[in-house]
Amino acid sequence: MRFDITVPHPSRLRAAKAAFVTIPAGTVLHRIHPARFGAAAFNDTERGNARFSPIRDPAGRIIPTIYAAESFDCAAAEIILRSPDVPETDPVTGQPPLTIVFPSDYAGHAHSTVAVAEPLLLVDLTVAGQRALGVEHNALIAGPTASYPAVRAWAEAIHSALPQAQGLFYHSHQLGPAGALVLFGDRAAALRPGDTRAVADPPCHREIVALADRLGIDYIDI
């Protein structure tokens, strides 16, 4: 959905008001990721254009990151069935536009589980957590792709101002209140990889199709 959200400048960050979420050791998280990378591999490159990556520290070094979620559905919603930047209304039909996601675009992806090796301390970026930091209207999570550079600047500011923070916790915009997170690889302990399956495997594909149907999305190649 295309809409305007203003992400304030990170100079407004109220670091002293930050709230935290603790992820206990042993927690199993879910990831959707390119299969050529390991299940627990952090991205330490400049590649990509995601909400919270790539990001850098004050010295200009890349901060390795990894995305995960509390459930398979949340991981799939965050990575595969993301809200597209499209008009609210189809000008021809007057109805919400048809959203199609092509499975072929994710033929090289995998679904993996990873276990948290040590407790993780994450900055709370839920709606309430953002308000405490100085951000209104869920702007760090709800904005379109055009807002990503401004959101990454907030992630960098949070990383710099809160050295105890090992990552960020937020509610999926697509599937809230399911929880998603991004970890800072220079602070978070290594994750223990678990099971991995191809996104294109029939059981996994069927689960994504069912989730897409719940979200009003067609997950099909046409």
Among 183, 26, 47, 188, which Cα is nearest to 114's?
A: 26
Mean pLDDT for the stretch of residues 197-208: 98
Residue bearing tokens 């996994």: 204
Can you point out the beta strands (E) in the chain?
Answer: 20-23, 28-34, 55-56, 62-63, 65-69, 99-101, 109-116, 120-124, 167-171, 179-184, 191-198, 217-219
pLDDT score recorded for residue 73: 98
- Would you tell me which CATH number, out of the four given (3.30.70, 3.90.175, 3.40.50, 1.10.3110), belongs to the domain 10-219? 3.90.175
Position 13, amino acid: L
Q: What is the pLDDT of residues 163-192, one digit of tens each?
A: 999 999 999 998 989 999 999 999 999 999
Rounded to an integer, what is the distance from CA 121 to the centroid of its chain? Answer: 17
Task: Check residue 165 and report its DSSP letter.
Answer: -
Is the per-residue pLDDT at 90 higher than 70? Answer: no
pLDDT score recorded for residue 1: 43
Q: How many CB atoms lie within 10 A of CB 11?
A: 8
Among 41, 60, 51, 120, which Cα is nearest to 85's?
A: 51
Residue bearing tokens 């199609």: 100
Contacts of 147 (CB under 8 A, 6+ apart): 5, 7, 139
Domain boundaries, the chain: 10-219
Q: What rounded mean pLDDT belongs to the chain?
A: 93
